[in-house]
Amino acid sequence: MREPGEPTDRSIPFVDCHHHLWELDRLEYPWLRNPGDPAQTAITGDYAGLRVDWPAERYERDAAGQNVIATVHVEAACIPEQAVVETRWIDGIAAIHGFPNALVVFCDLSDDRAAETLESHLATSSLVRSVRSRPDRPADKAFRRGLRAARQFGLSYELSQSPGGLVDGLRLASAMPDLDIVLGHAGFPRQRDATYHARWRHEMRALAEAPNVAVKISGLPMADHAWSIESLRPWILETLDAFGVDRCMLGTNWPVDSLFSSYDRLVDAYRTVLIDARLGVNEQHAVLHANAERLYRIPAGVTAKTRPA
């Protein structure tokens, strides 16, 4: 257990498995153009601080102190017609800055042309590793057809479900055992009362029974704006206990979670929880970077020369 006031050990490298970049004049982001999208404010409250450009240089400044060796960029909800354009732009950023090192791209998997769109993403960037979709319909037949195309292209699927929908994710994982699935935001628990926590815990443990599902521990401050290490701790530890240290990764959800924290404070909280839980050094390496490197196929040799400044 760390002593109060003791500096956080940042010596173990960190792969940020979930962050975004955007420039408002480059692509159309309806949720960022809207001064108060009710769907967004219900999650984040006032998000005026996000309605500005968030380029690679700003991410570099925010992440500079955390020994970040690689990152995974997640599409930032531009209009679907520009999804491949976004992939091309982020691929260009990677060529200049050395990150991101893997891309999660958008595709409407229910669309009849989903396979064609996925091919376009793959032709645009060699960094494409995974796909997410809106809306997320894991039980829909057309959606599963798109998922089969993703699987054939060697892509994983980013599951975006909260308690109540995690059961659908389990059914999907069982029906498509050769599809790698990554659950976002630790199942995105949106409430913090004991009854909700028990439901989330039950569904997370059920989903974890599927060996083809991994999980990102990220985005927790979106439902806990005044968070502390103690308020995050049970959600992090329960996720680790359910999925095991070999199927858990850590992400910052940057810059969305910049509304509630600095980058250093959030990642230091992650590091502190792992240390306080007495995870061994190898286990900490797994959760902080090795699992993300494996699951998003980030070559180990790439990270040493592409660390954000």
C-alpha span between 8 and 267 (Å, rounded): 10
In a domain, 2, yes or no: no
Nearest to 128 by CA among 159, 97, 94: 94
C-alpha span between 157 and 240 (Å, rounded): 20
In a domain, 3, yes or no: no
67 and 309 in contact (C-beta within 8 Å)? no
- Torsion, Cα 233 234 237 243, to 10 degrees, reads -140
**Taken in order 203, 201, 279, 103, is the CA torsion positive or negative?**
positive
Contacts of residue 102, defined as CB under 8 A and 6 or more positions apart, other chains included, come to: 70, 71, 72, 73, 127, 129, 130, 296, 297, 298
pLDDT of res. 305: 40
Residues β-bridged to residue 250 = 217
The total of structural domains in the chain comes to 1
CATH code: domain of residue 250: 3.20.20.140
Query: Exposed, middle or buried: residue 215 (CB in 10 Å: 0-12, 13-18, 19+)?
Result: buried
The per-residue pLDDT string of the chain (309 residues; one tens digit each, 9 = 90 and over) reads 555 567 899 999 999 999 999 999 999 999 998 877 888 899 999 999 999 999 999 999 999 999 999 999 999 999 999 999 999 999 999 999 999 999 999 999 999 999 999 999 999 999 999 999 988 888 889 999 999 999 999 999 999 999 999 999 999 999 999 999 999 999 999 999 999 999 999 999 999 999 999 999 999 999 999 999 999 999 999 999 999 999 999 999 999 999 999 999 999 999 999 999 999 999 999 999 999 999 999 987 555 344 544
pLDDT of res. 45: 93
C-alpha span between 253 and 265 (Å, rounded): 13
In a domain, 6, yes or no: no
Residue position matching structure tokens 């790439």: 302
In a domain, 309, yes or no: no
DSSP 110-175: TSTTHHHHHHHHHHH-TTEEEEE-SS--TT-HHHHHHHHHHHHTT-EEEE---TTTHHHHHHHHHH
Nearest to 143 by CA among 181, 180, 115: 115
pLDDT of res. 306: 43
In a domain, 8, yes or no: no
In a domain, 308, yes or no: no
C-alpha span between 69 and 305 (Å, rounded): 8
* Residue 245 belongs to domain spanning: 14-303
